[in-house]
Amino acid sequence: MGTSGVLRSRPAQGVLLELGLSSGPDSAGSSGVHPSSSRRDDGDLAMRETMRAVVFCGEGAWRIESHPTPQLRTEDEVLLKVERASICGTDLHILSVPPGHPATPGTILGHEYVATVVEVGSGVRHLRPGDRVVVDPNITCGICEYCRLGFSNMCENMTTLGIFRHGGLAEWSVAPAKAVHKISSQVPLDRATLAEPFSCVLHSFERSAFVPGESVAILGAGPIGLMFLMLYKAAGAYPICVVEPVKFRRHMAESLGADAALDPSAHDVLREIKGRTRLGADIVIDAVGTLLPEALWLVRRGGRIVLFGMNVHAER
C-alpha cells in the first residue's frame, strides 16, 4: 500500500486508520537518527524526510498533509512505525464546533495506536527495535505533588499525545519510552489498537465495585458502551439494560448479550428498567458523557453511577 490513509469502518470498534509505507531505498542517512541509539534497519521500515499525517487545524478542521518525519531528541524516547490507529470519541469532541474537548492546532491527532519500534534512545532498556507496542498517550511529569503521591492521573503538568503533542495518526511517531508498552506479536493489530480505550473501561469497571449478580444499566451503545457490556456480561451481571437511540447499535448490544436494548424514543426507560430490577439498577454507566440527570433517575438508592467520557457539553 502507498502512503495514502485508508479508513475502514468497524461497527463495534469505531474507525481504524491504517497508514502504510511506500517501498523504496532506505533513506535513513537523511532521517537524523540519534547517534547513540539502536534502530532497526530493513526495507519495510525505510525512513523518509517527510510522512503523511492527520493534522488538527482548529475550528473543527483537519487535513492529511505532508509532515516532517519525527526524530529522537532525548535518550529516553522511542521512534515508532505506526501500524494501526483508531478514531476516539475524544477526537470527535475535538472536531466539534464548538469543541467538546481542547486540543492544540497544528498537532497530529491520534492517541489510540499500535506500532512497531524502529529506534530506541540510548537510555531505553525495556524495548528494542522490532517490538510490537501500544502507547499510553497521557504523559506525566513524575515530579509534581500528585505524581509523588501516586495520583499520576492528576498530574499538574500532564500532556497528551494526539491532543497537545503529536500523536499516532501518522506513519511514524515519537513517544517517551515510559509510555510505550510491549505486547505479544500474537495479538491482532486491530484488537491491539483498543488497548487504550479498553484500559479506561476496565479501570471504570473496577471502580464500580461490581458484585456478580448485580443489575447494570448502560446509557449509550457506542464502542465504549459495548465494551462495558462485554465486561459486565462476562463478570455475571444480570440483567444488563442498554439504552441507545440508534437501531444498529441496539442490535449490536443484543448480539453481545444485553438482556434489554431500549430505544429511549419508543420506551419509558425508567419504567422498563425498574420493571426488570424493581428498585432501579445497582450500577448505571453513562457512556455518553452528558446523561448524569438520567442516570440519577435510573440508579437504585445506594447504587453507583459511573460517569465516563464527560466533556464540556455535560455542564448542564
Q: Say yes or no: 188 and 210 in one domain.
A: no
Q: Say yes or no: 158 and 21 in one domain.
A: yes
Structural domains in the chain (count): 2
| Whole-angstrom distance, CA of residue 140 vs CA of residue 119 | 22
| Whole-angstrom distance, CA of residue 208 vs CA of residue 206 | 5
> Which pLDDT value is given to residue 313?
61
| Whole-angstrom distance, CA of residue 292 vs CA of residue 219 | 10
Question: Is 267 labeled as catalytic in the residue annotation?
Answer: no
Distance of CA 111 to the CA centre of its chain: 6
Full pLDDT tens readout for the chain, 316 residues: 333 333 332 333 334 454 443 333 333 333 333 334 566 554 444 668 999 999 999 999 999 999 999 999 999 999 999 999 999 989 998 999 999 899 999 999 999 999 999 999 999 999 999 999 999 999 999 999 999 999 999 999 999 999 999 999 999 999 999 999 999 999 999 999 999 999 999 999 999 999 999 999 999 999 999 999 999 999 999 999 999 999 999 999 999 999 999 999 999 999 999 999 999 999 999 999 889 999 999 999 999 999 997 766 655 5
Tell me the three cell numbers of residue 159. Answer: 500532556
Residue 188 φ/ψ, nearest 5 degrees: -55, 140
> Which pLDDT value is given to residue 172?
98
Of the residues 34, 67, 69, 93, only one is catalytic, namely 93
Of the residues 90, 107, 140, 277, only one is catalytic, namely 90
Q: Say yes or no: 234 and 174 in one domain.
A: no
Model pTM?
Answer: 0.80
Residues forming a β-bridge with 173: 80
Q: Which amino acid is at 206?
A: E
> Which pLDDT value is given to residue 289?
85
Residue 38's CATH number: 3.90.180.10
**Could you tell me the residue range of the domain that residue 308 belongs to?**
206-314
In a domain, 201, yes or no: no
Residue 267's CATH number: 3.40.50.720
> Which pLDDT value is given to residue 27?
31
> Which pLDDT value is given to residue 100?
86
In a domain, 199, yes or no: no
> Which pLDDT value is given to residue 89?
87
Q: Say yes or no: 210 and 178 in one domain.
A: no
Question: Is 90 labeled as catalytic in the residue annotation?
Answer: yes
Does residue 31 contact residue 25 with C-beta atoms inside 8 Å?
Answer: no
> Which pLDDT value is given to residue 290?
86
Q: What is the dihedral of CA 280, 281, 284, 290, to 10 degrees?
A: -30
Residue entry with cell 461497527 = 11
> Which pLDDT value is given to residue 48?
85
Q: CB neighbours (10 Å) of residue 296?
A: 13
Residues forming a β-bridge with 64: 54
Distance of CA 250 to the CA centre of its chain: 22
In a domain, 200, yes or no: no
